[in-house]
Structure 1
């Protein structure tokens, strides 16, 4: 984990806008994404590994499918996308499942950050319909002042969704920090020279994320909570 020295904490205290990725950063949904992609690919005659699926998490769904299955036709890509959506939407509404819940301590962190008058936002590879659905299901929409999705601003690591959030909220890059769990998240933030926090508990492991040079790095949700909410 990157050092959490006093000057590090001071730097983050100055950030007024905290932008989060969703899957694997706030919500424990990586397992469902991997399973859904396996089911969708195999239903259409294609196979891949868990690690290969994790490597495309953060991209838009169709771009991820194109990356995973370059040998497939455009029609097959669309069929895989539909199979994925059918399974994921059904499974994501099942009650009391990890994939429909925040990581432990995350919702309390969001509440505390709001008390500290931080502005919160989401930048995700989900489509708008998918983010709206999961926000409503988790009753978390009220925490976030702004959000952008891949079908509105382009797929990560294109930084357009971060630029859109900055424009909407009126903040500058220097005012913001982005928190994510994939290489695509960190590459997106780096394109704007935005402060970033890589979380090692989601799609990518710590070594892979470290190679992308995030500003800070944490191993667990509790470490993220401590880093962002320290007085």
Structure 2
């Protein structure tokens, strides 16, 4: 009997790559151009995972919609400039053992890989090009086409595209937005300990990943328990 397909969906920033330096710098640039005090590093990292049109109003609720819209574009411009200056691979390095783990999972015929990210399609493509990652993923959900996390639309689309049932998928991420999205979609959530939200906030996770090399064993445990 053929084993059912499994789907492992990854968040990107704070989960697969560490892009916090460029995120904080780009946000500070957007606030500077708006003539508004920049948020703290902690505040900026706290909104990573949200789409920019949701994140910036949360950081500066006292500013108006027109300013928020301009700041979204200023952030994007600054982020692109920072990435061009250092190169995407250097400005958003992969976390330890991420590539090795993706390679091992990709080699399993029954395991499909996906991405659900607040990044734009353009930003994800640049990152994939820098790290040669596109070949690993069969479904990629980005902010251009979906409501912001924690709305479950990204995961629902990934499940629909691959034909995988929610019980046979997992969402791996570093924020409460990833967790809430997964729970809303009925998909088990695995938190990572190295990301931008405090790991203690990731309550309700099926497991907490502290080293990418632990992932294959954790996946086996989750799916065997659900069988």
TM-score w.r.t. length of structure 1: 0.86
Equivalent residue number for residue 70 of structure 2: 79
Equivalent residue number for residue 24 of structure 1: 14
Deviations 1:160-208 (A, max 9, x none): 0100010010111011000001110000001122111011211111112
8 Å CA contact 1:16–1:176 kept in 2: the answer is yes
Equivalences for 1:1-231 in 2 at 5 Å?
16-46=6-36, 47-93=38-84, 94-95=86-87, 98-117=90-109, 118-210=111-203, 213-224=204-215, 227-228=218-219
Q: Hey, what's the Cα distance between the residues in 2 that align with 1:40 and 1:220? A: 34
SS in 1 for 2:140: strand
Gaps of 5+ in 1: 1-12
Range that drifts further, 72-81 or 14-23: 14-23
CA RMSD of aligned residues (A): 2.1
Aligned residues: 216
Q: Hey, what's the Cα distance between the residues in 2 that align with 1:77 and 1:207? A: 31
Deviations 1:62-101 (A, max 9, x none): 1101111111111211221122111111212323864332
TM-score w.r.t. length of structure 2: 0.88
Shift of 1:30: 2.1
Q: Hey, what's the Cα distance between the residues in 1 that align with 2:4 and 2:27? A: 40
Equivalent residue number for residue 225 of structure 2: none
SS in 1 for 2:202: helix
8 Å CA contact 1:21–1:185 kept in 2: the answer is yes
